[in-house]
Amino acid sequence: MSTSTDNWEQVQAAARESLGDEIAEFIEACRRGPEPESQLIAVLHQVQDRFGHLGGEHLDAVAQLMQVPAAKVAGVASFYHLFRLKPRGRFMINVCLGTACYVNGADRVARKVMDELGITWGETSADGVFTLEASRCLGTCGLAPVVMVDGQIHGNVTPDEVPIILEKYLKKARQESA
């Protein structure tokens, strides 16, 4: 590590604190292997699994520990749709826009979700409970249109049912925070 800057000890400690020991050790293992930079995406997946999103401080910590320029780490993270740069809500709402769901009115269901929560695709509701995303076929076309909330499938959803479904999860969120 002789080419790291003078404040390497502090930088390393701060980065470890931000990412946690497990990820820091994974990065160390990558750096001992061949082509450590090629493991960047694998590292980012681990960070997202742990924190739900890739925050600026996480990306800087990854850059420091991997010794990959921060601009490159941020560039990679922002390129892939699967990486989230903003915190996600407590529950993920996936509205299926696959063919079967779409012809059965998924667009109207999605519109209702957006109106109820005041958000659009990829956004998180102001209370931090829901994040809305679109899916392309969840493999349950017989139940079209399908909405998946927190891994739970809701089939044959009509726009009118959307507030009822959302209320169920809001209640759960309220219980959790109580």
Partner 1 sequence: MRKKKISLTIDGNPITVDEGTTIMEAAEQLGIRVPRLCYHPDLSLMGSCRVCIVEVKGMGYYMASCSVRVWEGMEVETSSPEIRRARRDIVELLLDNHPRDCQTCERDGNCELQNLAYSMGVRKRFFEGRRKRFPIDDSSRSVIRDPEKCILCGRCVRVCAEIQGVHNLSQHGRGFHTVVGPAHMANMDDSVCIQCGQCINVCPTAAFLEKPRTEAVWNALADPKRHVVVQTAPSIRAAIGEGFGLEPGTPATGKMITSLRRLGFDVVFDTDFGADLTIVEEAHEFLTRLREGPLPMITSCSPGWISFMEKFYPELIPHASSCKSPMSMLSTLAKTYYAERKGLDPAQVYMVAVMPCVAKKDEAARPEHKMPGGRPYTDAVLTTRELIWMIKCYGIDFATLADGEFDDPLGVASGAGDIFGTTGGVMEATLRAASELVTGKPADRLDFTEVRAVEGLRETYVAIGEHNIHVGVANGLTNAKSLLDKIVRREEEFHVIEVMACPGGCIGGGGQPYPRPGVKVLDPELLRKRASALYAIDSGKTLRKSYENPAIEELYDTYLGGPGSEKAHELLHTHYAARIPRGIR
Residue ranges in contact with partner 1 by CB under 8 A: 2-7, 11, 56, 59-60, 63-64, 67-75, 78-79
* Choice between 80 and 171, CB closer to partner 1: 80
Can you count the helices (H) and strands (E) in the chain? 8, 4
Asked if 166 contacts 127 with a C-beta cutoff of 8 angstroms, the reply is: no
Closest approach, Cβ 83 to partner 1, in A, equals 11
Closest approach, Cβ 106 to partner 1, in A, equals 24
* Choice between 6 and 160, CB closer to partner 1: 6
Backbone angles phi, psi at 96, to 5 degrees: -75, 125
Peptide bond into 159 cis (omega under 30): no
Closest approach, Cβ 38 to partner 1, in A, equals 17
150, two tokens? 């927190």
* Choice between 69 and 139, CB closer to partner 1: 69
CA distance 152 to 14: 38
Closest approach, Cβ 81 to partner 1, in A, equals 8
